[in-house]
Structures are given as C-alpha cells and as structure tokens.
Amino acid sequence: NPQPLADGAWLFPGFARADATALLAAIHSVIEAAPLRHMVTPGGHEMSVAMTNCGPLGWVSDARGYRYSPTDPQTGQPWPAMPSGLRKLAIHAAERAGYPAYEPDACLINRYIPGARMSLHQDKDERDAAAPIVSLSLGLPATFLFGGMKRADRPQRYRLAHGDVVVWGGPSRFVFHGVAPLAQGHHLDVGGHRFNVTFRKVT
C-alpha cells in the first residue's frame, strides 16, 4: 500500500524486500562488468557516492558536464544489459503508481558508504519529462531530502529503508532532492553500505 510523499510521488514501503537477494545478485553482476567508480562533477569535485550503470544509456559526469552515454567511458564498451529482475521491478512499481507503459532505458546504481551524501540537485538530463523515475533502496537506511522547485526551499526529510521503492512522477519529477550523509551501521544482507538504483526514461 503506497504512501503519497508529494504530488505525483508514491512510496511503496518494503515493495522489493522479498526479492532483495535476487536484486542484490543482479546489482553485483552489473558491478562485475562495469565497476563502481567515483565520478567527477563539472566543478571538479569527486563524488562521495560510487556509481555505475546498466541498460542502453548510463549517466556520466566529468569535467565537461553531465550527460547520458551509451558506453562506459572507462572501457568504451556498452553498459551491461539491464537485468530483467531489476527492470521488471521498476515496471511493476510504475504500473502500481499509475504509469502502465513504463520502459526505462537507463538504470543508475549508486553505492553509499557511511559519510557519503548527495547534495541537493534536480534530475533534468532526461528528455522524456512525462515518464517517472523509479528508485529502489537496499541496505542501510538513508535520510532522503525532498525539497521544492527552488534550491532554497527547505527540504522535507524521509527515511528510505531496505526494500523501499519510490515512484517520482508528475510535479514531483523536477523537485530538488538529495541524501544526507549516511550513518554508520550494518545490514544483515547488504553489510556496511546502501545501494540506490534509479530507473529513468531518457529518450
């Protein structure tokens, strides 16, 4: 039973918990083919979150800017295919939130260790503004910051825990958001870190 977080944003608590073992195996298979790395922002800062991608397009950042790329800049090879279990989870959650024909073409995998954070930002590199973003959280819980349309709007705080899935569509799609520094901890299945997987429709 979903909870509304904001206009167009739905939290499905524990939606993926029963499938967590298979989803974690899928995430690890992607990481084996396209290792996690700390990307550099256009401003020259190394991100504290380690990232990789799967699917037709992957999000990349370097001194030249942010963009979606069909290839991994570290190898020049296409990103690994989106594992069907991950893709099906995103499609299923989107359908439950009222988006019946969701076809994500990008999947960004973020790994947080204690202290890692993501500062307030908007996701606006995707050309398909009508499609939602679906996010899956696994492992240690995080404090998610959900702001407004302006960076200065005071963000609301939500806890995202193991197995939680959120569908961000409609007016919530372009709000400023971020993640507070991850607290130390240990998760029985995932260990000392958090994964967040976001599904996007770019083209």
Which residue ranges make up the annotated binding site for substrate?
A: 59, 66-68, 125, 151
Q: Which residues pair with 50 in a beta bridge?
A: 111
Distance between CA 19 and CA 81 in Å, rounded? 19
61 touching ligand MD3, by CB under 6 A: no
Per CB under 6 A, the segment of 68-76, 92-100, 151-159, 169-177 that binds ligand MD3 is: 169-177
The residue number whose beta carbon is nearest to Fe ion equals 123
* CA atoms of 195 and 178, how far apart (whole Å): 14
Q: Does 133 bind ligand MD3 (CB under 6 A)?
A: yes
Smallest distance from ligand MD3 to CB 194, Å: 8
Closer Cβ to ligand MD3, 15 or 168, answer by number: 168
Known binding-site residues for Fe cation equal 121, 123, 177
Name the DSSP class of 46. Answer: B
How far is it, in rounded angstroms, from Cα 132 to Cα 173?
Answer: 7
In whole angstroms, the minimum distance from the beta carbon of 55 to ligand MD3 comes to 14
DSSP state for residue 133 in the 8-state scheme: E
Q: What is the rounded distance in angstroms from the CA atom of residue 13 to the CA atom of residue 199? A: 17
By CB under 5 A, name the binding residues for Fe ion.
123
